[in-house]
A and B are shown apart, each in its own frame.
Chain A
Amino acid sequence: MNKTRDITVTVNGDAREAAVEPRLLLADFLRQSLGLTGTHVGCEHGVCGACTVLVDGDSVRSCLMFAVQADGRKVETVESLGRIGQMNALQRSFHEHHALQCGFCTPGMLITATDLIKKYSLATDDDIREGLSGNLCRCTGYEHIVKAIRAVVDGKAGDTR
Chain B
Amino acid sequence: MKPASFDYIVAESIEMAVASLAEAGPDAKIIAGGQSLVPMLNFRLLRPSLLVDINRIPGLASIEETETGIRVGALTRHHQLEMSPIIGRHLPVLSCAMTHVAHLAIRNRGTIGGSLSHADPAAELPMMALLLDAALHIASASGKRTVAARDFFLDALTVDLAAGDMVTEIMLPKLPPRTGWGFEEVARRHGDFALAAVAATLTASGGVIAQARIALTGVGPTALRALAAEALLVGQSLEPKLTSHAVEAVRAAIAPDTDLHASADYRRHLAGALTRRALVAAWRRANESAA
Contact = CB atoms under 8 A, between A and B. Distances in A.
Interface stretch (A42-50, A88-96, A146-154): A42-50
A25 B55 CA distance: 16
B42 interface: yes
B39 A21 contact: no
- Size class of A's contact patch? 20 to 34
A61 B105 contact: yes
A22 interface: yes
- Size class of B's contact patch? 20 to 34
A134 B102 CA distance: 8
Contacts of B189: 133
A2 B104 contact: no
A22 B41 CA distance: 12
Given A2-B5, A25-B2, A134-B103, A63 B109 contact: no
Interface string A133-147: 111000000000000
A64 B114 CA distance: 14
A116 B104 contact: yes
Main DSSP-derived SS at the B contact region: loop
Pick from A46, A63, A133 the residue with the most CB of B within 10 Å. Answer: A46
Pick from B4, B83, B103 the residue with the most CB of A within 10 Å. Answer: B103
B55 A130 contact: no
B260 interface: no
Contacts of A115: 104-105, 108
20 contacts: A2-B8, A23-B4, A23-B5, A25-B3, A25-B42, A28-B2, A44-B2, A45-B1, A45-B42, A49-B103, A58-B109, A64-B35, A64-B38, A69-B31, A69-B34, A69-B53, A115-B108, A129-B190, A133-B189, A135-B103
